[in-house]
Homo-oligomer: A and B are copies of this chain.
Amino acid sequence: MIKQKEIILNHYPRGFHIITKEITNNLDLPDMGILNLFIHHTSAGLTVNENYDSTVLDDFETVFNKMVPENMPYYTHTIEGPDDMPAHIKSTLVGNSVTIPITNGKLNLGTWQGIYLCEFRDGGRRRKVVATIYY
């Protein structure tokens, strides 16, 4: 069996943000299954990483800005601002979807794992995620 739900996330500023609770609050999880989250945008991403220490989130933002710097002379897609093309690259590096097992009615994440929204635009709006559960 399969079910789907569209979730409009709260607004988040540029950076990496833990959204595990916001996602699970919007879902009715089966006993066993799989959750796929798919973000509807090309300048944001989803990943699973450390859920405890906020310095990890800060360092993610720092490192991704160093890996994919803005305002480099080799960009040709510049009409949407200096953060736009780097945002597309970062989105593909991180990925725009995560797939997470569901066990005993809960997301089967490790102790230190949480779901991240990766917001790569300075002026990003509220982001849409399609949740698909098969069980």
B56–A85 contact, CB under 8 A?
A: yes
Q: How many copies does the complex hold?
A: 3
Q: Which of A48-67 contact B (CB under 8 A)?
A: 48-50, 53, 55-56, 58-60, 62-63, 66-67
Interface residues contributed by chain A, number (CB under 8 Å): 55
A34–B76 contact, CB under 8 A?
A: no
Decide yes or no whether A92 CB sits under 8 A from chain B.
Answer: yes
- A68→B67 CA distance, assembly (Å): 8
B92–A60 contact, CB under 8 A?
A: yes
Chain B residues within 8 Å of A8, by CB: none
B4–A41 contact, CB under 8 A?
A: no
* 7 residue pairs, one from A and one from B, having the closest CB atoms: A40-B110, A55-B77, A55-B76, A42-B50, A47-B92, A101-B130, A101-B132
Chain A residues in contact with chain B, CB under 8 A?
A: 2, 4, 32-34, 36, 38, 40-42, 47-50, 53, 55-56, 58-60, 62-63, 66-68, 74-77, 85, 88-89, 91-101, 103, 108-110, 112-113, 116, 128, 130, 132, 134-135
